[in-house]
């Protein structure tokens, strides 16, 4: 039997035998010891009801909650983990709806603030025929851009096992200062810092500003997840498949793990001790929105429960394969948060792969 098939079987067994992460994270008097805290934007995605059309041609749109850091928070919780979200919403119908969605998904929302003047951000997402997407944003400014340092809920940051964030919250003040302060507080409390730059060029004043902003906090992160397009952008057009490019230009001395996602092909991983590739799971893609966030949520749920996986290549590969499976389940439905999988759905997909490989 192939090594891939053997790995899949082993992962399925491990998943079936795993204890409930939520139970494990609430030992010692109920204090969440495996808490993943996500910081940044939460918004409404408007997704065309048919694929392969422009925004102008779309006959109708389906409303779906989204925003990368919020997607990750829900992703962790759906998988049985403990998560919290820190950000700002408009004091409007959409903002209250998003807040309720976090509560419904068992995400700690005590770090959310509401702005009485700014609206909740909106994004219209065009789905091409291949399921890839293009964005048009309404943030002029939106509430998420206006979170201040004084509004941070520091007790949540102090409890974080993992603190996860993107780069969109770095685009403008006052949110940029709040973001940097939140990183500092979480780091000083011993949290692992997880960074997904999540390039959205349309939101930045220029490509140069985007590169500078994304790299401004690069060396602070313990874990970075990027995709091939982001490698090309950040390196000025270098080959994203060249390990030397990744290691020389993007791997920094304090980094514990750099992951490069490759969609259905899987992912590559780099640490100081080892590097390699983990295969993906091919499914029929309906909508790739949120796939990367599902991957991150899947990996961080494993990491928060056991940070020692970063030192054990075999277990790291198992966690990354599980994360790949989370992303694969997500692309089979439209929208981001609505499509994020449960642990059972991921297990089912991995079992199907085992059967198909037998």
* Residues annotated catalytic, as ranges: 293
**Pairing, β 133-138 against β 35-39:** unpaired
Dihedral angle at the C-alpha atoms of 199, 200, 201, 206, nearest 10 degrees?
-80
Residue 90 in tokens: 């408009």
CA pair distance 149, 281, nearest whole angstrom: 41
Handedness of CA 299, 71, 349, 288 (dihedral sign): negative
Closest CA to 97 of 135, 70, 133: 70
Closest CA to 43 of 108, 113, 90: 90
Phi, psi of 82 (to 5 degrees): -110, 125
CA pair distance 210, 216, nearest whole angstrom: 10
Question: Token pair 């003040």 is at which residue?
Answer: 173
**Pairing, β 35-39 against β 82-90:** parallel
- Check if the beta carbon of residue 50 is closer than 8 Å to that of residue 189: no
CA pair distance 284, 266, nearest whole angstrom: 15
Residue 149 in tokens: 């340092």
């Amino acid at each position: 039997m192939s090594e891939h098939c053997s790995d899949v079987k082993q992962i399925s067994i491990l998943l079936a035998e795993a204890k409930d992460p939520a139970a494990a994270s609430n030992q010692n008097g109920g204090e969440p010891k495996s808490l993943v805290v996500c910081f940044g934007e939460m918004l409404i995605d408007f997704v065309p009801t048919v694929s392969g059309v422009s925004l102008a041609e779309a006959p109708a749109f389906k409303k779906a909650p989204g925003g990368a850091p919020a997607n990750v928070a829900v992703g962790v919780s759906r998988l049985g983990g403990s998560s919290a979200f820190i950000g700002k919403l408009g004091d409007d119908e959409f903002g209250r709806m998003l807040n309720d969605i976090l509560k419904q998904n068992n995400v700690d929302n005590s770090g959310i603030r509401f702005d009485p003047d700014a609206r909740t951000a909106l994004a219209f997402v065009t789905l091409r025929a291949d399921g890839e997407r293009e964005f048009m944003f309404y943030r002029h400014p939106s509430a998420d851009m206006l979170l201040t340092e004084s509004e941070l809920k520091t007790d949540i940051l102090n409890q974080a096992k993992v603190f996860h964030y993107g780069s969109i919250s770095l685009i403008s003040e006052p949110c940029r200062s709040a973001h940097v302060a939140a990183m500092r507080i979480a780091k000083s409390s011993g949290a692992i810092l997880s960074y997904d730059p999540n390039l959205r060029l349309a939101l930045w004043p220029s490509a140069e500003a985007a590169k500078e902003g994304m790299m401004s906090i690069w060396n602070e992160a313990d874990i970075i997840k990027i995709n091939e397009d982001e490698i090309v952008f950040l390196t000025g057009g270098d080959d994203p498949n060249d390990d030397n490019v990744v290691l020389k230009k993007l791997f920094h001395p304090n980094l514990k793990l750099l992951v490069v996602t490759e969609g259905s092909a899987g992912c590559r991983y780099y640490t100081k001790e080892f590097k390699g590739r983990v295969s993906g799971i091919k499914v029929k893609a309906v909508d790739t929105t949120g796939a990367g966030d599902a991957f991150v949520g899947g990996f961080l749920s494993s990491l928060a429960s056991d940070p020692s996986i970063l030192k054990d290549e075999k277990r790291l590969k198992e966690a990354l394969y599980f994360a790949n499976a989370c992303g694969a389940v997500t692309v089979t439905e439209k929208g981001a948060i609505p499509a994020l999988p449960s642990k059972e759905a991921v297990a089912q997909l991995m079992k199907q792969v085992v059967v198909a490989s037998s």
